[in-house]
Every structure is written in structure tokens, then in C-alpha cells.
Amino acid sequence: MKLDQITDGELSILQVLWEEGEATTRKLTTALYEEVTDSKMATVQKLTERLEAKGCVERDRKKRAHRFRPLVSHEQFLHSRLQALADRLCDGTLMPLITTLLQAKGISRSQRKQLRKLTSDLWPTRDTDTKTSK
């Protein structure tokens, strides 16, 4: 599954599939283009064909109009992209990404709370504040 070679157009296809769960060529075309023409349909077919070749999509050929389903989740894809970033910029380490993100502005109070809960759940060690209810 070649996640790093996913093209921008292919990604758009995947995003529709993530939202819809599965879709036909027509449904994809409708979602992605203003007007559905033969050539737009062909474009979508080419993109799904390439996605299938890359192992990111499966095709159900039972019916005339094939149904496509994603073989990669949104989370998997995001993780892959983050890892690629880390590989290129941080010797493969994820920590710099995390610290950069935490230092970024725009983390609201409720989001901080959410993060604290997440970390407590993930790493239930003794020195983590487990008695949040005081």
C-alpha cells in the first residue's frame, strides 16, 4: 500500500470515500465536479484505477457500476503523512512534530482538557494525575 505516492486528485477521491463509506464512479464524480460529463467520469475512473493499483481502494465488480471502498483509513493516511514529514525533517522522530504542535497557537482551553484526558488514558502511570475528580 503505497501511501506516500497518493496524488492530490487521488486524495480527493479517498476523502469522498471516507465520508461516504463506499461509492460508484458516478457518485464520486458528482461529489467532486460541478457538472458530470463523460470525460469527468473517465477522469475519476482513471484515478480510482490508480488508487486500486496502489492498494488504497478495493473494487466490487459484482454489479455493472462498480462500488469502491477505501482500504486505508483517514487516520492511517494522516499518520503516514506525519511519519513522512518526520522522516524528511526530523530524522524520523515524531517528538519534534508533537512539541511544535503543542506550542502552536489556537489550542483552546477545552482542547487542553481533552489532551490531558487523552494522555492520562494512554499512559496510565502512577505519576499521571488519575484522580481528576479531586
Partner DNA sequence: ATACAGACAGACACACTGTCTGTATGCATT
Partner DNA sequence: AATGCATACAGACAGTGTGTCTGTCTGTAT
> What residues numbered 23-42 form the site for DNA, per CB under 7 A?
24-26, 37-42
Q: Interface with DNA includes 49 (CB under 7 A)?
A: yes
Q: Interface with DNA includes 3 (CB under 7 A)?
A: no
Q: Interface with DNA includes 45 (CB under 7 A)?
A: yes
Shortest Å, Cβ 20 to DNA: 15
- Give me the residues that bind a copy of itself (CB under 8 A), please: 11, 74-75, 77-79, 81-82, 85, 88-90, 94-104, 106-107, 109, 111-112, 114-116, 118-119, 122-123, 125, 127-129, 132
- Letter for the amino acid at 3? L
Residues 58 and 1: beta-carbon distance below 8 Å: no
How big is the CA angle at 27 (ends 26 and 32), to the nearest 5 degrees? 95
Compute CA distances 40 → 51, 52, 67, 76, whole Å.
16, 18, 17, 28
- Letter for the amino acid at 121? D
Rounded (10°) CA dihedral 111, 74, 6, 24 = -140
Q: Interface with DNA includes 53 (CB under 7 A)?
A: no
Shortest Å, Cβ 7 to DNA: 4
